Amino acid sequence: MIIKSVITTIVFLVSYGAFLIGNIPSGWLVSRINPQLAAAHASLSDARGGAWTGSGQLRVNGTPLGRLSWDAGFWPLITGHLDADVKLQGNDIRARARVNAQRKSLRMTNLKGQADLQMLARLAHLPPEAQGTLVADIKALRVSARGVIETASGSIDIHGTRLPDLGVDLGTLHLVLQDSKADQGIHGMISNDGGDLDINGQLNLYHGDRYSLIAYLKPHPGSKNDPMRDALAAVLGKPDSLGRYQYRVSGVLSR
């Protein structure tokens, strides 16, 4: 009888404790996550649902992106880190990924999504001249506690890329990111399909925020592209022996 009473009591306490834990509001999780998001100038608000399955309004650099929903693992959250499937739904962006967030870093895997290119440029404080739709398929991405991108691998395509101020159609741009170590930077190869000219180049990201881009632009053969050649020559100088115009830019990404 005593053993049965003890077992009954334990079962009740475990069940009641699971009920309490399972009903922790999403605001509890948001309060724990926001200090880590602050390094990336991001925040969550308007929390709904529970800590394990809930949602919140995501802002980056003060700009609302959409509602971020999550389905988090039970034990990882109890032990102080986040392991969850997340989904972001907004007017100009849609994305989903697996996220593992700890004190020292945030790791994302199987990140897939699409977003308006001009919106992303505004968020990063980059010139928003180009138009198009960015489609990402990132296999792995790691960000430090300070918001520095340490490693990244996968691919990014930009469909319908245009420079309306120059009247130039770039077709579909391709960026393939290679696995790298933090001290060696992140490197990506650039190419394109279609459009008014061929593009090949390389993008490098160092220390998570310093970038450099070198690209070679070659208009397609034909007299109709003579005005484009004149415009490229006026901005970029004379072409090389292969008829390519070299474009170089470097700077610091806003964080």
Specify the pairing of strand 149-163 against strand 105-116: unpaired
Share of the chain above pLDDT 90, in %: 24
Question: What band does 166 get if pLDDT is binned at 50, 70 and 90?
Answer: low
Phi, psi dihedrals of residue 240, rounded to the nearest 5°: -85, -170
Give residue 89's Cα distance to chain centre: 14
For 254, the token pair is: 């806003």
Residue located via tokens 């109709």: 224
Residue 236 is predicted with a pLDDT of 84
CA distance 144 to 161: 31
Confidence (pTM): 0.78
Residue located via tokens 């138009």: 131
Q: How would DSSP label each residue in 138-185?
A: EEEEEEETTS-EEEEEEEEEEEEEEETTTTEEEEEEEEEEEP--GGG-
Identify the CA nearest to 151 among candidates 163, 139, 159: 139
CA distance 177 to 172: 16
pLDDT digits (tens, 9 = 90+) for 21-76: 455 666 766 776 777 677 667 788 888 887 778 888 988 888 888 998 888 776 66
Neighbours of 20 (CB within 10 A): 9
Domain positions in the chain: 26-103, 104-255
pLDDT digits (tens, 9 = 90+) for 200-226: 999 888 876 788 889 998 988 875 667
Residue 9 is predicted with a pLDDT of 31
Q: What average pLDDT is seen over the chain?
A: 78
